[in-house]
Structure 1
Amino acid sequence: MASLRDLGLSEYEARAYRSLLRTGATTAKELSRASDVPMGRIYDVLNSLEQHSLVRSQAASRPKKYVAVEPDTALDRLLETKHRELEEKAEQYQAVVDDLTDELETAEPVQGQFWTAAVGMEESVDLLLERLSAADSSLVIVAGTLSPQFDIGRVGELITEELEAALDRGVNVSVLMSPDLVASLPKTVGKRYVTRLENHPQFEVRTTEQLSGTFNLIDDVEVCIEVPNPLDPGEAFAMIDLKDAEFATDIREMFDPRWDEAEPLTLSSFSDD
């Protein structure tokens, strides 16, 4: 059950305010009896409620009388106070994150090989998005086929958001696709690229024939590879992420000639009705 305490009032403050709504204008002594707030605490409680702008006092009367602010107004004021507190907390947390980001980014990166894997559609997408968000300097995306189990509309939107963020960080993004994959993409996906990415100087898309498999090369030190289902090669089975500079260099050496021979793609063709 909802309580005024959920909005920041103490038990005594909540009792006093509710009692004032019932009694109307009254003195501190009368309110103490009506609310079961000890007489030794009632003035502190009323002062606090006044600071919250939940009660008004009639100082000219002897003894001094108090009246509750209307419930709608009181609740709006309590909610506004909570919003301010949450905003201040969010700013504090952001400051902590900024400090930790600076501190942690100065640490030496882990050297050597490391790999991890995700099995299943959602897990694979999560791993891919995580690794795209980790790019600092370059992203190479090679996509030869489209797995039917992926919702290309939803996944395409998520990937587009990560690519936008990468470009904002100064990352160079190169996308190599097969013509068949380009032809199979929904127009909505193409329009997203046209409006958000196509004209960015650090973003380029090209196409080439006989392109199979899907992988992502991140900062030339990490490769994220889509693994097809062995029982149905048309479906994705898992995503493997391998951090290995030597392997990544081999992948780059195989990619560069394909990229040089590939045809630039004008994504504005997607915008045609």
Structure 2
Amino acid sequence: MASLRDLGLSEYEARAYRALLNTGPTTAKELSRASDVPMGRIYDVLNSIEQYNLVRSQTASRPKKYVAVEPATALDRLLEDKKRELEEKADQYEEIVDDLSEELDAAGPVEEQFWTAAVGPDETIDLLLERLTAADDEIIMVAADPSPQVDIRTVGKDALAHLEDALERGVSVDVLMSRDLVDALPSTVGRRYRQALQSRADFDVRTSDDVTGTFNIIDNVEVCIQVPNPLSSGEAFGMIDLKDPEFAADVHDEFLPRWEDATPLSF
């Protein structure tokens, strides 16, 4: 059950405000009795809820009297206070992340093979986006037909956002897609491509009919390979992420001829 305490009030503050709604204009002494807030605490409590702008006081009267602000107004004020606190917290966390990003060094170049895997559409997408975020120099994306298990509208937007972030970090991006995949992408992706990315020298998208698999080459040392479902070739089963410079070089060599023969994209 919802409570005023959920919006930041203490138990005594909530009691005092609720009691004021019932008593109307009243003194601190009368409010202490009505709310069961000890007399030794009532003035601190009233000062506190005054700071929340939940009560108004009549200072000209002796003794001083207090009246509750209407509930709708009071709740709006408490909500705005909470929103402001959350925004301040978010700003603090962003500053912490910025500081830690500078402090924490990424792992050095991979000198031995290491692989990991994700199984299932959600885990596959998470792994892909994670590896795009990790790129330092170059991203090559090769994408065949869309998987029916994957919401291409969401993935297309998320991938594009991660590619934009990578470009801002100085990472070059080449994307080779099948025409069927281009046709499946939402119009918002095409619009974003035309408005923000098409003119960039470090971002290039081409299409080809000779695209039979889906994989990504990260910084020429890492390859993320989408694994099709062996029981249904049109579905994605998972993704293997393999860090191996020699293997990445071999995949890159296979990619280059297809890239050179591909057609520049026009949405």
Using structure 1 for the length normalisation, give the TM-score. 0.86
CA distance, structure 1, for counterparts of residue 181 and residue 6 of structure 2 = 54
Shift of 1:115: 0.8
- Give the residue type in structure 2 aligned to 1:229: N
Alignment match, 1:265 = 264
User: Is contact 2:146–2:181 with CA below 8 Å preserved after alignment?
Assistant: no
- Give the residue type in structure 2 aligned to 1:53: N
| Secondary structure, counterpart of 2:104 in structure 1 | helix
Alignment match, 2:64 = 64
CA distance, structure 2, for counterparts of residue 105 and residue 25 of structure 1 = 62
Give unpaired runs (5+ residues) of structure 2: none
Shift of 1:164: 2.3
Alignment match, 2:16 = 16
Give CA-to-partner distance per residue, 1:19-75, whole Å, 9 cap, x none: 111111111111111111111111111111222222222222222211112222222
- Give the residue type in structure 2 aligned to 1:20: L
Shift of 1:139: 0.8
Superposed, 1:1-273 pairs within 5 Å as 1-105=1-105, 108=108, 111-178=111-178, 181=180, 185=184, 188=187, 190-191=190-191, 193-260=193-260, 262-267=261-266, 270=267
Shift of 1:148: 4.1
Shift of 1:254: 2.8
Shift of 1:182: 5.7
Shift of 1:187: 7.0
Shift of 1:210: 3.7
Shift of 1:110: 5.9
Give unpaired runs (5+ residues) of structure 1: none
Equivalences, count: 266
Structure 1 stretches of at least 4 aligned residues deviating more than 6 Å after TM superposition: none
Distance 1:127 1:106, change over 3 A: closer
Cα RMSD for the two superposed structures: 2.4
Is 26-35 or 151-160 further displaced after alignment? 151-160
Give CA-to-partner distance per residue, 1:126-172, whole Å, 9 cap, x none: 22222122222211112344444434333323322222222232221
| Secondary structure, counterpart of 1:161 in structure 2 | helix
User: Is contact 2:136–2:219 with CA below 8 Å preserved after alignment?
Assistant: yes
**What is the percent sequence identity of the aligned residues?**
66
CA distance, structure 2, for counterparts of residue 78 and residue 147 of structure 1 = 46
Shift of 1:184: 5.3
| Secondary structure, counterpart of 1:37 in structure 2 | coil
CA distance, structure 2, for counterparts of residue 227 and residue 217 of structure 1 = 15
